[in-house]
Structure 1
């Protein structure tokens, strides 16, 4: 390995991956803005604030690469100190984490009606935010990498509390959604989609948080921790946007046409859903006779406006 592989190389990998994830965030944000959702103003404000935060943080990440590889190209001594971009990353990631976790914690409250469990998630998220902001500011004050030893307990508390909140949210959502299955194939397909998304996003961000923690504690003389730290905020934003945009898949599943041929008679059922969770119109055609009946779709009643079942 080269002399700077674990100092500059791993950091650049983190910046490249962060840029890729920011592209996904931008795509999901455009999809959200171009889709008609009857979301309250506070949800739209949360989405807009996270997108602005991600945009600023991604620009800072690009500047960090420029500062490291261009401005200090012939200055190896600069590697002994951290610039303001590292403290900013810790603070920005903590902000993205608490916003996403509180949003998903609100979904947990809706599904479980368990205020104690929701309070635990909120407490862990708040503690993670406080320690994350403190660790970021403290690292900016210390600056010299050789003096980072006092940061160990604060970074450990930050990422431990943050990861604990993520894992609890993932477990609770997966458990509750699994118990909400109705036996209807279309509804169960929607629930499986939501469960898979909860597990993937929760597991993904937990891996990055633990990678950040252990690389910071065990590989202090490298920038390996930065490879995990920079993309973490984008993972949180992608988690929130994926949760919201999952309702598009639910809407598409409700706009399906099924044709069944039985004993020489052709049956055609058309299901046209007008909203994400409202009354649907069914049209059943048997040969030349047409019977139209307006009823409440049995599957649609299980899907709330936020993409999760409204009945557990």
Structure 2
């Protein structure tokens, strides 16, 4: 093992992976910009705020690599001190996570109509973000790597709260969407796609957050935590952008119709765009699929308006 494998080496791995993810996120931004979504201003503001945040984060990360490998080449003592980039990168990561969790919390509110669950998610996410701000402050105050032990309690609290919010969001979204299955193959295919997306969001974000936390806590004197810390923000942004851009494929999957073939024994009647199956009304309007009688917001909307906007849910 080389002399700098556990310091410069692992830092570079984290930066390389972050840069790769930034490329994927940039593609997501381009797709969003070139698609005529009629999203409200607050969603567009979130998208372009994250675009600026991710660009800034990735630019500073690449600068950090240049500073280590070029500017301070032959100066290993520089690794003993905390660069100004550390608190900036930490804040950008926490900000991306907070924005994404608030967006998904809004989605939970629309699907479940449960303000208490949404409140728990919001409070947990806000607590994680506030703790991250404190970590950012401490990282700016601490000047030497040997003093990073002072940050262990606050970093642990930050990442534990952030992971808790992810787990709650994942469980609630997956459970609520699973209950929304209608028995119609096209609708259930879309719902299964949303469930898969919700689970992937929680799993990947949690793995990296926990990896960051355990490496930072247990592997002091190394930079193993950086392999997980650098890419976390891009994972959250990619999650949010994939959620928004997925409307294109989901709308194509629905094809503007409801597939009734999967219920061969159903007593089905067609009248003016309304299909009735065993007492449940399914209304198709502007490619919006809504299970009206059981839960008007159970099945997500795929209109060109806001995919999660309450205006997209219309009773038949």
TM-score range, shorter chain: 0.7 to 0.9
* Alpha carbons 2:14, 2:228 under 8 Å: kept: yes
Which consecutive unaligned segments of at least 5 residues does structure 1 have?
Answer: 258-278, 282-294
Q: CA deviation at 1:255?
A: 3.1
* Alpha carbons 1:105, 1:121 under 8 Å: kept: yes
SS at match of 1:148: helix
User: Does 1:194 pair with 2:186?
Assistant: no
Partners in 2 of 1:255 and 1:164 — Cα distance? Answer: 37
Deviations 1:156-178 (A, max 9, x none): 11001011001100110000000
Q: CA deviation at 1:254?
A: 2.9
* Alpha carbons 2:190, 2:254 under 8 Å: kept: no
Deviations 1:172-202 (A, max 9, x none): 0000000000011000000111111111121
Residue 297 of structure 1 corresponds to 284
User: Does 1:145 pair with 2:132?
Assistant: no
User: Does 1:70 pair with 2:64?
Assistant: no
Q: Residues 174, 103 of structure 1: CA spacing in aligned structure 2 closer, same or farther, 3 A cutoff?
A: same
Residue 203 of structure 1 corresponds to 203
SS at match of 1:36: coil
Residue 271 of structure 1 corresponds to none
Q: CA deviation at 1:220?
A: 1.4
Partners in 1 of 2:18 and 2:283 — Cα distance? Answer: 44
Deviations 1:114-151 (A, max 9, x none): 11111111111111101111112211211211112221
Q: CA deviation at 1:40?
A: 0.3
Residue 136 of structure 2 corresponds to 136
Q: CA deviation at 1:256?
A: 8.0
Partners in 1 of 2:120 and 2:249 — Cα distance? Answer: 31
The alignment's C-alpha RMSD in Å is 2.2
Residue 94 of structure 1 corresponds to 94
SS at match of 1:240: helix
Partners in 1 of 2:313 and 2:224 — Cα distance? Answer: 43
Q: CA deviation at 1:300?
A: 3.7
SS at match of 2:230: helix
Q: CA deviation at 1:21?
A: 0.5
Residue 105 of structure 1 corresponds to 105
Partners in 2 of 1:179 and 1:191 — Cα distance? Answer: 10
Partners in 2 of 1:310 and 1:171 — Cα distance? Answer: 23
Partners in 2 of 1:200 and 1:307 — Cα distance? Answer: 19
Which consecutive unaligned segments of at least 5 residues does structure 2 have?
Answer: 258-271, 275-281, 291-299
Partners in 2 of 1:129 and 1:297 — Cα distance? Answer: 40
* Alpha carbons 2:135, 2:155 under 8 Å: kept: yes
Partners in 2 of 1:300 and 1:142 — Cα distance? Answer: 53
Residue 289 of structure 1 corresponds to none
Q: Residues 280, 20 of structure 1: CA spacing in aligned structure 2 closer, same or farther, 3 A cutoff?
A: farther
TM-score (norm 2): 0.83
Q: CA deviation at 1:280?
A: 7.5
Residue 46 of structure 2 corresponds to 46
Deviations 1:75-102 (A, max 9, x none): 1111111201111111111111111101
Greater C-alpha Rg: 1
Any residues of structure 2 matched to 1:117-136 within 5 Å, and which?
117-136=117-136
SS at match of 2:231: helix
Moved more, 87-96 or 295-304: 295-304
Q: CA deviation at 1:222?
A: 0.6
Residue 10 of structure 1 corresponds to 10
